[in-house]
């Protein structure tokens, strides 16, 4: 890629600084990233201007040859056979190949479009595309050219000379571009890196903008949370909230009492779990009642309005005594003691206490649900939960944006591009990366 540097330094020497050192000959300039790509094209077009007359001369030759080629194709189209008495089959083959041969050459010509005011990029791209077009023409007309040489040799030779002259004109354009360092190959990498730098700068600007926006939203959310927490503190100072606390304390005491009652009921039956499960397989009546006690003694007692469990337990006692349950001596003795503790008065009192306590808890729950302070408190707590969720989302987004910023290292790419521009074009460029994002 040193040919650009050579050309540009030659241009600088011609301006009068012949005694300056190579370092002093390097032009220094500032270029905004937004117009860097256009600046590269403009600088190369300036260099291209030196050879543009010669380039245009070759393209004029190409245009004249296109006109000649078109004329020769038209003549071929109406040309008569020297020997009109050839077999019909051969004549048919000739006509088919002639039509295809003319059509393929016209397609080739249609794609040889030269701009009226050509620049370095168009000229280089034209030459690059021409090689492909010429290769396609050669492969598609190989058979047709052989047939045309058989039937219309003069016409085929004139057409071949036109294509060759066009090819030679393009080859001279390529040579001029190559000798004067105005081919696009050496600049394509610059343009790609300029586009990459521009894209990364845009991404970085967007990240910074979104990060700034997220920070503001986070500050607002945190301020809102602080305000809501203050509202809770104010609510806790109201009479309604004091009433709620009193009710809540009473509910806790009742819940503790209910739990104790349940434990007492469970303690009556839990030591009998194994004997009861053995007896369950032998019981023929009131199995539903007994099954509930097995699953949960509290639920069983609340559902057993007639206290059928007393009758069932008496039956079980007899089976324990006659050893039909297969209990060991200690198990048998323990079971007999426990069955004796299950008395009507004890069960009635426990069930009554459980029901009354449960009813009192329900009444307090109703009062609490109607408490204005608690309703307001629930509303504020919901807002706090929502705000905390927003804070978490914003924090995660900010962390992601920070990682993206760290990965988007434009300084290294910028320096690399500046170095390549200096190497390729012989110009010291300071790329200015302005923040293109506007809120």
Query: How wide is the angle at C-alpha 329 spanned by C-alphas 262 and 277, nearest 5°?
Result: 45
H helices within 49-87, ranges in order? Answer: 52-78
pLDDT above 70 as % of the chain: 91
In angstroms, the Cα distances linking 102 to 33, 126, 136, 137, 350 are: 49, 23, 14, 11, 112
Residues 6+ apart with CB under 8 A from 244: 368, 371, 373, 374
- Sign of torsion over alpha carbons 261, 264, 268, 270: positive
Tokens 């469970």 correspond to: 266
Structure-block tokens of residue 288: 């539903």
Own/partner pairs for 88-97, CB < 8 Å, 24+ apart?
93/147, 94/147, 94/150, 94/151, 97/143, 97/144, 97/147, 97/148
Query: How wide is the angle at C-alpha 214 spanned by C-alphas 195 and 439, nearest 5°?
Result: 55
Task: State residue 331's pLDDT score.
Answer: 87
Measured distance CA(138)–CA(122) in Å, rounded: 24
Task: State residue 434's pLDDT score.
Answer: 74
Tokens 């595309």 correspond to: 129
Say if CB 430 and CB 31 are below 8 A apart.
Answer: yes
Task: Give 412: exposed, middle or buried? Use CB within 10 Å, 0-12, 13-18, 19+.
Answer: exposed
Say if CB 235 and CB 241 are below 8 A apart.
Answer: yes
Task: State residue 26's pLDDT score.
Answer: 56
Task: State residue 209's pLDDT score.
Answer: 93
Q: Which helix (H) or strand (E) holds 417?
A: helix 410-425
Measured distance CA(217)–CA(221) in Å, rounded: 6
Bridge partners of residue 427, in order along the sequence: 27
Residues of the chain with pLDDT under 70: 1-26, 180-188, 435-439
Q: Which helix (H) or strand (E) holds 161?
A: helix 153-179
């Amino acid at each position: 890629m040193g040919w650009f540097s050579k050309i540009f330094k030659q241009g600088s020497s011609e301006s009068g600084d012949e005694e300056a050192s190579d370092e002093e000959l390097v032009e220094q300039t500032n270029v905004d990233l937004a117009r860097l790509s256009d600046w590269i094209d403009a600088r190369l077009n300036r260099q291209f201007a030196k050879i543009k007359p010669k380039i245009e001369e070759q393209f004029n030759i190409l245009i004249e040859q296109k006109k000649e080629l078109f004329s020769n194709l038209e003549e071929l189209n109406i040309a008569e056979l020297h020997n009109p008495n050839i077999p019909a089959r051969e004549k048919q083959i000739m006509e088919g190949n002639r039509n295809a041969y003319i059509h393929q050459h016209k397609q080739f010509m249609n794609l040889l479009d030269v701009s009226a005011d050509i620049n370095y990029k168009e000229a280089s791209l034209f030459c690059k595309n021409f090689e492909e077009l010429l290769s396609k023409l050669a492969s598609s007309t190989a058979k047709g050219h052989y047939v045309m040489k058989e039937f219309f040799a003069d016409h085929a030779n004139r057409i071949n000379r036109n294509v060759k002259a066009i090819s030679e004109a393009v080859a001279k354009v390529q040579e001029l571009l190559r000798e004067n360092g105005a081919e696009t190959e050496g600049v394509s990498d610059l343009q790609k890196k300029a586009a990459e730098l521009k894209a990364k700068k845009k991404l970085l600007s967007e990240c910074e903008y979104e990060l700034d926006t997220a920070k503001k939203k986070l500050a607002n959310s945190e301020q809102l949370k602080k305000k809501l927490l203050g509202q809770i503190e104010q609510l806790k100072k109201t009479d309604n909230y004091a009433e709620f606390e009193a009710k809540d304390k009473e509910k806790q005491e009742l819940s503790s009492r209910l739990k104790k009652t349940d434990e007492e009921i469970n303690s009556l039956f839990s030591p009998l779990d194994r004997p009861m499960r053995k007896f369950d397989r032998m019981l023929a009546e009131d199995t539903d009642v007994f099954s509930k006690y097995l699953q949960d003694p509290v639920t069983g007692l609340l559902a057993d309005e007639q206290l059928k469990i007393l009758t069932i337990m008496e039956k079980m006692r007899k089976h324990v005594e006659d050893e039909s349950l297969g209990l060991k001596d200690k198990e048998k003795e323990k079971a007999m003691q426990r069955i004796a503790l299950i008395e009507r008065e004890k069960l009635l009192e426990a069930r009554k206490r459980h029901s009354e306590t449960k009813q009192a808890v329900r009444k307090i729950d109703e009062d609490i649900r109607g408490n204005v302070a608690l309703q307001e408190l629930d509303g504020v707590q919901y807002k706090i939960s929502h705000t905390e969720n927003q804070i978490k989302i914003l924090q995660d987004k900010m962390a992601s944006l920070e990682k993206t910023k760290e990965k988007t290292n434009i300084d290294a790419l910028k320096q690399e591009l500046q170095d390549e521009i200096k190497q390729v074009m012989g110009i010291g460029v300071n790329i200015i990366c302005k923040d293109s994002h506007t809120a």
